[in-house]
Amino acid sequence: MGGRIVRRALSRRKVEDARAARQAQTTSAQRPGRLIPLTLQRSGRPILTTRSSAEALFAGNRVTLAGYEAQHFGWSVQGRVATITLNRPERKNPLTFESYAELRDLFRQLAYATDVKAVVLHGAGENFCSGGDVHDIIAPLIDLPMPELLMFTRMTGDLVKAMRHCPQPIIAAVDGVCAGAGAILAMASDMRYATARSKLAFLFTRVGLAGCDMGACAILPRIIGQGRAAELLYTGRSASGEEGHAWGFYNRICEPEALLADAQKLAADLASGPTFAHGITKTMLHQEWTMSIDEAIESEAQAQAICMATRDFGRAYDAFAGKTRPVFEGD
């Protein structure tokens, strides 16, 4: 009998000690500059940090881009939606060495942006993008030696990598000409809205180059199928907006005057959603290309478990229980 009383007393004391420890931890966490023990451990010891060190970590990995001043294209941020405007309409918005590099660097920075949750990419005027500028890019390339040529092709490929690795969904709003590298930009986006008058063309073979440019032979077949991709990449012919929509390249056909607004509305809807989960979805859509079914299922199990630990998941449940719409915050 006495043993039971002792065990109960010890058990009660453990509970009280644990409660006191939690209260002490909460109190110390509220005091600036105090060491806060984390749950992670290394070699059996708790890892300690401070508010100042946490702020330093965030400062090095968080940027705001609303005030970014683009040099070679238009850039604006409204309501956590960024709009990139290829703005040389008199030439059908071609790309230059400089715009390639700046776009690459900007999409890399978007991985750290806290104020941008979705991106719209479009062209000024009545065209999306005519590809690399004939005079500013193609003419100089003819005289470059192999090391410099490889430097250029790797730079353009890095732009596609940056687009695929940034966590924000990218919506391309395609009107008119969408050719060469312009077609690649649309292809590398996550979703594509277009007009019936849009003209999609992977023109590389028309200028004596291979159709395998900037990931086209890897990405395009996954969007429209191997046979259709082969046709466009071999022939370089243009596909109409309706054809691109029927093949699955475009998600939606819009009226020209409504195209940008429709794309921005989709982006705004995504930006107000569970943006952390959107980033995970984009990552898995990209990574699972090279996985077996078993590997993909396991990776998705881990990814979904991570999302279940977010506050947004709890907000969704609370909203469902309360019969209201969830308000997501992306954490």
- φ/ψ of 70, rounded to 5, equals -70, 145
Q: In 312-325, which positions are buried (b, 16+ CB within 10 angstroms) versus exposed (e)?
A: bbebbeeeeeeeee
Pair (291, 213) in one structural domain: no
Q: Average pLDDT, stretch 81-88? A: 98
Q: How far apart are CA 279 and CA 81, in angstroms?
A: 15
Q: What is the pLDDT of residue 9?
A: 44
261 and 280 fall within a common domain: no
286 assigned to some structural domain: yes
Same domain, 88 and 132: yes
Residues 224 and 246: their CA atoms lie apart, in Å, by 9
Contact by Cβ (8 Å): 112, 64: no
Cα–Cα distance measured from residue 198 to residue 253, given in angstroms and rounded to the nearest whole number: 10
Q: Are residues 108 and 200 in the same domain?
A: yes
- Are residue 243 and residue 286 in the same domain, yes or no? no
Q: What is the pLDDT of residues 251-301, one digit of tens each?
A: 999 999 999 999 999 999 999 999 999 999 999 999 999 999 999 999 999
- 166 Cβ contact partners less than 8 Å away, ≥ 6 residues apart: 107, 108, 110, 111, 119
Q: Can you tell me the mean pLDDT for 36-40?
A: 40
Could you report the per-residue pLDDT of 180-193, keeping only the tens digit for each?
999 999 999 999 99
Measured in degrees and rounded to the nearest 5, phi and psi for residue 176 equal: 65, -140
The more confidently predicted of residues 34 and 62 is 62
User: Identity (one letter) of the amino acid at 35?
Assistant: L
Q: H-helix or E-strand containing 121?
A: strand 118-123
Phi and psi angles of residue 47, each rounded to the nearest 5 degrees, phi first: -85, 130
The answer to whether residue 259 sits within a structural domain is yes
C-alpha–C-alpha distance, residues 144 and 75, integer Å: 32
Is the domain of 109 the same as that of 158?
Answer: yes
Domain-ending residue, one of 271, 286, 303: 271
Q: How far apart are CA 169 and CA 273, in angstroms?
A: 12
Question: Minimal CA–CA distance to 176: which of 89, 103, 50?
Answer: 89
Same-domain check for residues 287 and 258: no
- Residue found under tokens 């809205």: 193
How far from the centroid of its chain's Cα atoms is residue 43's Cα? 36
Q: Choose between 37 and 327: higher pLDDT.
A: 327
Q: Are 155 and 108 in contact (CB under 8 A)?
A: no
Residue 45 pLDDT exceeds 80: no
Examine residue 24 and state whether it is found in any structural domain, yes or no: no
Instruction: Compute the average pLDDT of residues 191-201.
Output: 98
- What is the extent of the structural domain holding 208? 59-271
Does residue 5 form part of some domain?
no
Averaged confidence pLDDT in the chain? 87
pLDDT tier at 138, thresholds 50, 70, 90:
confident
CATH number of the domain encompassing residue 102:
3.90.226.10
Rounded distance, CA 233 to CA 212, Å? Answer: 8
| pLDDT reported for residue 42 | 40
Q: How many domains does the chain have?
A: 2
Query: Is the Cα dihedral 252, 256, 258, 263 positive or negative?
Result: positive
Same structural domain for residues 292 and 232?
A: no
Question: Are the C-beta atoms of 200 and 231 separated by less than 8 Å?
Answer: no
Percent of the chain exceeding pLDDT 70 equals 83
> Is 39 within the bounds of a domain?
no
Q: Is the pLDDT of residue 20 over 90?
A: no
Give 241's contacts (C-beta < 8 A, 6+ positions apart). Answer: 174, 194, 195, 196, 197, 198, 199, 200, 250, 253
Whether 166 and 314 map to the same domain: the answer is no
> In this predicted structure, what is the pLDDT of residue 4?
46
pLDDT at 134: 86
Answer whether residue 279 is part of any domain.
yes
Tell how strand 177-179 and strand 191-195 pair up.
unpaired
pLDDT value for 55: 72
Among the three residues 232, 248, 271, which one is the final residue of a domain in this structure? Answer: 271
Q: Are residues 108 and 210 in the same domain?
A: yes
Beta partners for residue 46, in sequence order: 41
In eight-state DSSP terms, residue 124 is S
Give the pTM.
0.82
What confidence score (pLDDT) does residue 124 get? 98
Is 90 inside any structural domain? yes
> pLDDT tens digits, residue range 52-71?
666 776 776 888 999 999 99
Indicate whether 302 and 233 sit together in one domain.
no
State residue 136's pLDDT score. Answer: 87
pLDDT at residue 172 greater than cutoff 60 = yes
Residue recorded with tokens 């990139």:
84
Structure tokens belonging to residue 283: 């990552």
pLDDT at 26: 41
* Residue 40, pLDDT score: 42
Q: What is the mean pLDDT of the segment spanning 16-22?
A: 49
Structure tokens at 320: 């469902």
Residue whose entry in the numeric block shows the structure tokens 């900037």: 214
End-to-end CA distance of the chain: 52
Does residue 107 share a domain with residue 186? yes
51, part of any domain: no
Q: Report the alpha-carbon distance of residue 78 to residue 278 in Å, rounded.
A: 19
Half-sphere exposure for 184 (CA within 13 Å, toward CB): 27
Which run of H or E residues covers position 231?
A: helix 226-235
